[in-house]
Structure 1
Amino acid sequence: MQFLSPGEIVLKTLVQLIPVWASLALLLTLSFVFRRRLGLYGHVVASGTGLAGLILVGFWLFAAIFANQIELFNPLAQIAELQHAAPGAIDPHSGLPYLFGGDKLARDVFGRVVAGARIVLIIAPLATLLALSVGIALGLPAGYFGGRIDATLSFLANLVLAFPIILLFYLLVSPGILETPIPYVLAAIFFAFPIVLFSIFFIAGYRARPAALAVRLALTFIAGGWLFATFVFNADPFGLIQVSPSTLNIFVAVALASGPGIFRIVRSLTLDIKTREYVFAAQTRGESPWYVMLWEILPNARGPLIVDGCLRIGYTTILLGALGYFGLGMPPESPNWGTMINESSRFMRIYVHPALPPALALMSFVLGLNLLADAIREESLRD
């Protein structure tokens, strides 16, 4: 069997990633040229910490986008001769190399790491946004109205937080739960939150402009209805996304586990911001409570929420890896980074190369998110 030299492996890898390098260079160039017009993002890019985080996160973002162009082999394809092959092993049939070697099922590790980025970049941000919508929709009225509403919602949040988080994740993503309607009922509830939240947001802000309101509500119901049908009923009307029950359970688990924490943050921010003068001014003008909450309080709470969102995407990424490592969550054949580490851990003493790329990918992506969160926090405090 023929092999590439270490230098050839590095060179070939860099060449395969040309779409990523080009896109990343374009993003950084535009960010620096227009940074004075980009507000908070422009200040974040100008800092060393923010720039490092942007490079790491941007690398994996573009790797996910151009995954099909980067991969040399299908991440699920098996070539028997390349089982546990060392990095740089050349496929005798196609003449193409397994850049990072082969795993125990003779699949290309390089292609699976790149494909795993697409899974992470789809599930982690969407699941986090779902949890944010739940926390915001419940935290704003709890902090603004107080009284019984606050007491009831805070009790429910504390009830969920009191449940052992590991056991909660295990129950929600275990195969047995798929046979019950619980995940689908919870998914229907959670995916209704973004639709309701955006509808109230537009109604409160555009009630004096019926034409603009109608357009925004139509877009909200089209996009929200598409996501609702896709994730709750696995009936994508456009045929773009196929959602497995295990993937749906991950969304439910993240929303249920992260929602109460976000609720408490939003509630605390609302209790503080509602005492500001611009909130009193809006109330004096006769604005509705939901207008005050969504158009006055929420924009001024965006800094801490953006920081928390970045961190929670990292937590969700780690969660995906942990679930994959324990054989839960994504299907076994899925090129999930955690699943790859789990499959390689049994042969670590003999074959180290299949476990290192997914571990480094997971670490670098989460590190990039943490660096971005730190930079955003610093810039928010300056403002």
Structure 2
Amino acid sequence: MRKEETVKILLRNKLSLIGLAIIAGLILMAILAPVLAPYPDQALGEPNLQERLQPPSRTHLFGTDHMGRDILSRVIYGARTSLLMGFSVVALALLIGVPLGLMAGYFSGKTDLVIMRVTDIFLAFPPLLLALLIATSLGRGMTNAIVALAISWWPWYTRLARGMAISVKERPYVEASKAMGISDWKIMLRHVLPNSLSPIIVQATMDMGSAILEAAALSFLGLGVQPPTPDWGLMVSEGKDYFLNYWWYPVFPGLAIFITVMAFNLLGDAVREVIDPRLRRRLL
């Protein structure tokens, strides 16, 4: 995969560039939140009751909430929480799902049967519903929400990794490695895993937006991030009761969620075009 070809494909897809720029901006915003936020103390929960529910103005570009806190500052800090939860959910789901899928596909037999039957049990439930049940059992909090979402997501990566492992293990270089006496675990790490990564990376990139959205849903329902920690889903939940008279309260954090999810979906399309050989040939 030549760098020039990758750049050429990305430049052709303007929407992908927009998504990549938005994500880069969000990551930068999360890192520099203490510098960018106009009112860092309010972002972290300090009340300012003298200015509660003020409309957007020069002083407060996004207005203020029911505690008088600057919504722009809380949206900026909320990027930290939302991105952290999204990355954590996908990473944990990958760590659980991919090794199980590779073992199921490579070893087949009883190993495949046991792993895939357990996977089917988890897949029988809608992911968000299963996450709600797990989060309710574990209790409220960001860590528990991450664990709940990861447990509900790992089966999808298991099925994807299993399919790739079944395809890769039949290739000549794997058969040659077996004939040379190389152990199964080394073959999995050196050959099966690297050659199975492309669709997994694409899926993980596209899942980032969904992970952020579902994490926001748990916070909205009171099972995720707890106040006064700034979080977009929590802010929408707090602002829903004020929507008719103070529209800015839930609208701006809601827009932040929408833009972030859209950006990751656009980036996922770009990654798919770059990695998939058939799409590369068509685009070049």
Q: Which has the higher contact order (CA 8 A, sep 6+)?
A: 2
Residues 269/36 of structure 1: CA separation in 2 closer, same or farther (3 Å cut): closer
Q: Which residue in 1 is equivalent to 2:91?
A: 129
CA RMSD of aligned residues (A): 2.0
- Match of 1:354, SS? helix
How far 1:45 moved relative to its partner? 3.8
CA distance in 1, matches of 2:4, 2:120: 38
Give the equivalent residue in structure 2 for 1:202: none
2:239 partner amino acid: S
Contact 1:311 1:370 in 2 (8 A): yes
Q: Does structure 2 conserve the Cα–Cα contact (< 8 Å) formed by 1:44 and 1:51?
A: no
Q: 1:142 aligns with which of 104, 108, 118?
A: 104
The yes-or-no answer on 1:78 pairing with 2:47 is yes
Give identity over the alignment, percent.
32
Contact 2:82 2:212 in 1 (8 A): yes
- In structure 1, C-alpha distance between the alignment counterparts of 2:220 and 2:46, rounded to whole Å: 21
Instruction: State the alpha-carbon separation in 1 of the partners of residues 116 and 239 from structure 2.
Output: 43
Q: Aligned to 2:245, which of 346, 350, 361?
A: 350
Of 190, 193, 213 in structure 2, the residue corresponding to residue 318 of structure 1 is: 213
Change (3 A) 1:127 1:367: same
Query: Conserved in 1, the CA contact under 8 Å of 2:98 and 2:158?
Result: yes
Task: Report the alpha carbon displacement of residue 37 of structure 1 after superposing the two structures with TM.
Answer: 4.3
Q: Is the 8 A contact 2:82 2:216 kept in 1?
A: no
Q: Distance in 1 between matches of 2:168 and 2:12?
A: 28
Q: TM-score, normalised by structure 2?
A: 0.90
Alignment of 1:168 onto 2:130: yes
Structure 1 residue 36 displacement after superposition: 5.6
Separation (CA, whole Å) in 2 of partners of 1:61 and 1:250: 21
CA–CA distance in 2 between the matches of 1:103 and 1:332? Answer: 13
Query: Equivalents in 2 of 1:161, 1:39: separation in Å?
Result: 38
Matched residues in 1 for 2:242 and 2:88: separation?
Answer: 34
2:24 paired with 1:58: yes
CA distance in 1, matches of 2:85, 2:179: 43
What is the match of residue 110 of structure 1? 72
* Letter paired with 2:133: L
Give the whole-Å Cα distance in 1 for the aligned partners of 2:126 and 2:80. 30
| Structure 2 Cα separation of the partners of residues 166 and 303 of structure 1 | 26
TM-score by length of 1: 0.67
CA contact (8 A) 2:149 2:215 kept: no
Deviates most, 276-285 or 364-373: 276-285
